């Protein structure tokens, strides 16, 4: 053996091992790279090649009214898919499908268009058609379940409910604001196919089942809603307004029983309606409320003791402010606060604005929830407009007392009036009574939520009596009902001109009130925006009050509220029953209201001192009627003697003096200061004291 011949062989062998070793190392390194460092990525790629995912649609929750009547439901619809790999004969399959589906054979083949895979053919089939497709038992024809939103009551409560888009997401109303709650969670199925088992059937594996959305029970009573809508339709027919709204609320619980507005639309045909008709106007639209606000400054005056039951005001046909007069619709003469509210006297309200503290007035409006949203879970709620005293002009207090320089929504008004109705509590308005999960194992019920006490119970009671006076003998007579006591307030608000001032011919006529007066079961609001017709009749009392009465009567009877007025003969037992029901209701409400009373706008102590008021100094009268009231009798220029005269005559005699006069008590005048005969130049204020006499007129 020659060592020389061995050497090159050993070198070759070594080199071979070295190369093999290097290749092995590279190979192992690649394996480590693929299986360790890039595992996730490759696993994902592999899954994508072998699986296709399908999102499983969930069923949207149902919306019902408080009695279980379905307002919005999800109806099953079906989609047809062709799984080309399983189809034995495409032409024959298309032929057979065309006998069932609303499609021709060619249309079906066009959908396939020589593609392969899982191809959609048609969507939104109803169950009947889907069953016919299934009965064909065609290989490769798959049915998938989807849902379509359907509104069984069509346009009922449309502006409140809103609707869903094609993708099943809420676009308007409660469908939008409760979209997450109603929608639920989509499921996931994985379909294993493509490269494995090319000839085997497609396998769908449900990874995550879909979870249906929660169901919603509203506080709405469909029958009350229907009453509101039909009566509004009559109003619109008669007065051709821009729009009309109505709200019915249970003042004890804050539950909204009905909320309607016109124009409206059919929820099942929403695509063919205008966006303007979708608006939920009782919440989105604001306006200057006018006279219906007068009750709140009155509440401030009573609650702070600035005005008493025997305080008198004098109306000369206008309210007097420095450099401005606020016209009154009539010359009401001597009025007490009840009469002033009953007649909606502007002059009295101007005088009240001068008696009460502006801060108190602002606090009352603020406490009643004006100037901020009520928090009802509905989209696009407006706050309204309420400026703080720092932004007021010299006229603002008076304007606010007659419902101007403030803008409100219908719902804010209803909530504020509910505080009068329920004895003084501001309640949280509610539209949802209950939520429960799709399989009913989780439930959430919502009870009354008192926010704060804003009126002393005695003041609320007093205000209800005043509102009853409006209907019994004031501007709201047409709101009266034969069987129930009714309290309420008219409003005829001129619409503000954006260029300043007001449009005389453009008005919002409204009526807001409650019944029965002693213990109201319902607060109802009806408003008509720009009614057309004879200007002399376009008043809240004429336009809105009759509709208010018609709705109220039907609603009270629907709620089986026992009549509280002149019970018909033979129904004598109704009274004790009423008393019982009433007592039970009161107790439950008192329990509810056992929450601590907030130190807000507390009732003042029993008012002391003279009931001062009112005809503040004014420029010399210029009109004949005013001039005739001057004390021209015997001694011109001196204070006349009013002793022995009844209040009305004394007031008429003193009104022409243009001096502030305070009237105290009632009956006949028994004393006056300064003394009769005092030169008027030396009088700055007159106080007349009255005493009841058995024979007083």
Binders of Zn ion: how many residues, by CB under 5 A?
5
Closest approach of Zn ion to the CB of residue 492, in Å: 14
Q: Which is nearer to Zn ion, 101 or 315 (CB)?
A: 315
Handedness of CA 198, 204, 208, 212 (dihedral sign): positive
The structure tokens listed for 563 are 């009549």
Least distance from C-beta 594 to Zn ion, angstroms? 42
Write each residue from 625 to 664 as x if it is in contact with Zn ion (CB under 5 A), else as -, in one continuous string.
----------------------------------------
The Cβ-side half-sphere exposure at 34, using a 13 Å CA radius, reads: 9
Beta strand 333-336 with 443-445: parallel, antiparallel or unpaired? Answer: unpaired
Instruction: Work out which of 345, 400, 479, 650 binds Zn ion, going by CB under 5 A.
Output: 345
Q: Which is nearer to Zn ion, 334 or 543 (CB)?
A: 334
Of the pair 175, 320, the CB lying nearest Zn ion is at 320
Comparing CB distances to Zn ion, the nearer of 152 and 330 is 330
Tell me whether residue 261 or residue 328 sits nearer to Zn ion (CB atom): 328
Cβ distance 651 to 339 under 8 Å? no
Residue 218, H or E segment: strand 215-218
Residues 274-333 that bind Zn ion (CB under 5 A): 315, 328, 332
Nearer to Zn ion, 56 or 345 (CB): 345
Residue 59 exposed, middle or buried by CB count within 10 Å (0-12, 13-18, 19+): buried
DSSP bridge pairs for 494:
507
Is there a contact between 406 and 386 (Cβ–Cβ < 8 Å)? yes
Q: How far apart are the first and last CA of the chain?
A: 158
What is the rounded CA–CA span in Å between residue 221 and residue 242? 26
For Zn ion, the closer CB: 74 or 614: 614
Maximum pairwise Cα distance, the chain: 169
For residue 497, count other CB atoms closer than 10 A to its CB: 11
* Shortest CB 317 distance to Zn ion, Å: 7
- Write down the least CB distance from residue 505 to Zn ion, Å: 23
Integer Cα distance of 522 and 41 in angstroms: 65
Q: Which is nearer to Zn ion, 53 or 327 (CB)?
A: 327
Q: What minimum distance in Å lies between the beta carbon of 307 and Zn ion?
A: 16
Q: In the bound complex, what is the minimum distance in angstroms from residue 329's beta carbon to Zn ion?
A: 7
Of 315 and 467, the one with the shorter C-beta distance to Zn ion is 315
Determine the Cα–Cα distance for residues 395 and 66; give it in Å rounded to an integer: 46
By CB under 5 A, what part of segment 589-618 binds Zn ion?
Answer: none
The nearest distance, CB 622 to Zn ion, in angstroms, is: 19
Task: Residue 527: name the closest of 161, 242, 328 by CA.
Answer: 242
CA-based nearest residue to 479, from 382, 551, 546 = 546
Q: How far is the CB of 475 from Zn ion (least distance, A)?
A: 11
Q: Output 294 or 332, the one with its CB closest to Zn ion.
A: 332
Considering only residues 120 through 139, tell me which ones interact with Zn ion, judged by CB under 5 A: none
C-alpha dihedral, 393 to 394 to 398 to 399, nearest 10°: -30
**Interaction between residue 421 and Zn ion (CB under 5 A):** no
Look up residue 55 and give its DSSP letter: E
Q: Mark residues 347-376: x for contact with Zn ion by CB under 5 A, - for none.
A: x-----------------------------
**How far apart are CB 346 and Zn ion at their closest, in Å?**
6
Shortest distance, CB of residue 339 to Zn ion, whole angstroms? 10
- Contact assessment for residue 386 and residue 370, using Cβ atoms and an 8 Å cutoff: yes
Binding residues among 198-257 for Zn ion as defined by CB under 5 A: none
Binding site for Zn ion (CB under 5 A): 315, 328, 332, 345, 347
């Amino acid at each position: 053996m020659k060592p020389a011949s061995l050497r090159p062989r050993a070198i070759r062998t070594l080199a071979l091992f070295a190369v093999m070793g290097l290749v092995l190392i590279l190979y192992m390194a690649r394996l480590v790279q693929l299986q360790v460092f890039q595992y996730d990525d490759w696993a994902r790629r592999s899954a994508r090649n072998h699986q296709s995912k399908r999102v499983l649609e969930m069923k949207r929750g149902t919306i019902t009214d408080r009695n279980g009547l379905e307002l919005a439901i999800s109806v099953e619809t079906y989609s047809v898919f062709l799984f080309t790999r399983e189809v034995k004969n495409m032409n024959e399959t298309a032929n057979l499908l065309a006998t069932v589906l609303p499609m021709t054979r060619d249309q079906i083949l066009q959908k396939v268009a020589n593609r392969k895979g899982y191809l959609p053919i048609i969507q939104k089939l109803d169950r009947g058609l889907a069953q016919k497709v299934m009965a064909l038992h065609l290989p490769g024809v798959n049915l998938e379940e989807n849902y379509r939103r359907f509104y069984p009551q069509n346009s009922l409560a449309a502006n409140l409910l809103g609707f869903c888009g094609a993708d099943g997401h809420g676009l308007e109303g409660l469908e939008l604001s409760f979209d997450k709650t109603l929608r639920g969670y989509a499921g996931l199925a994985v379909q294993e196919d493509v490269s494995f088992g090319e000839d085997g059937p497609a396998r769908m594996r449900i990874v995550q089942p879909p979870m249906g959305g929660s169901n919603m029970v509203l506080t709405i009573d469909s029958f009350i809603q229907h009453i509101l809508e039909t009566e509004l339709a009559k109003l619109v027919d008669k007065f051709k307004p821009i729009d009309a709204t109505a709200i019915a609320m249970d003042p004890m619980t804050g539950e909204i029983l009905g909320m309607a507005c016109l124009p409206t639309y059919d929820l099942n045909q929403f695509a063919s309606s205008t966006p303007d008709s979708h608006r939920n106007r009782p919440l989105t639209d604001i306006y200057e409320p006018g006279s219906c606000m007068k009750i709140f400054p009155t509440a401030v005056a009573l609650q702070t003791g600035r005005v008493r039951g025997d305080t008198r005001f004098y109306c000369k046909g206008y309210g007097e402010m420095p450099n401005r007069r606020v016209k009154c619709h009539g010359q009401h003469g001597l009025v007490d606060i009840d009469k002033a509210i009953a007649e909606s006297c502007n002059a009295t309200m101007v005088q009240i604005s001068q008696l009460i503290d502006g801060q108190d007035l602002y606090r009352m409006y603020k406490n009643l929830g004006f100037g901020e949203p009520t928090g009802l879970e509905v989209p696009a709620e407006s706050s309204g407009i309420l400026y703080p005293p720092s932004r007021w002009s010299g006229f603002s207090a008076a304007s606010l007392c007659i419902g101007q320089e403030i803008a409100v929504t219908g719902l804010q008004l209803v909530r504020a009036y509910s505080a009068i109705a329920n004895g003084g509590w501001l309640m949280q308005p509610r539209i949802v009574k209950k939520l429960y999960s799709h399989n009913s194992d989780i439930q959430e019920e919502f009870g009354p939520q008192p926010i704060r006490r804003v009126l002393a119970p005695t003041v609320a009671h007093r205000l209800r009596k005043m509102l009853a006076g409006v209907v019994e003998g004031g501007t709201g007579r047409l709101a009266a009902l034969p069987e129930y006591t009714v309290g309420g307030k008219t409003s005829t608000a001129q619409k503000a001109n954006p260029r300043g001032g007001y449009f005389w011919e453009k008005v919002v006529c409204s009526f807001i009130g409650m019944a029965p007066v002693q213990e109201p079961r319902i607060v109802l609001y009806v408003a008509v925006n720009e009614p057309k017709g004879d200007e002399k009749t376009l008043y809240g009392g004429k336009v809105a009050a009759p509709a208010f009465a018609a709705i109220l009567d039907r609603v009270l009877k629907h709620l089986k509220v026992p009549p509280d007025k002149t019970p018909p003969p033979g129904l004598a037992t109704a009274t004790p029953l009423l008393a019982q029901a009433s007592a039970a209701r009161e107790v439950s409400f008192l329990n509810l209201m056992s929450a601590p009373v907030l130190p807000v706008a507390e009732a003042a102590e029993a008012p002391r001192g003279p009931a001062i008021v009112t005809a503040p100094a004014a420029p010399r009268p210029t009109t004949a009627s005013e001039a005739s009231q001057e004390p021209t009798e015997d001694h011109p220029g001196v204070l006349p003697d009013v002793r022995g005269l009844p209040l009305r005559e004394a007031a008429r005699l003193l009104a022409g003096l243009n001096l502030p006069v305070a009237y105290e008590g009632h009956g006949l005048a028994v004393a006056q200061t300064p003394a009769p005969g005092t030169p008027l130049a030396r009088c700055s204020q007159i106080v007349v004291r009255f005493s009841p006499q058995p024979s007083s007129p």
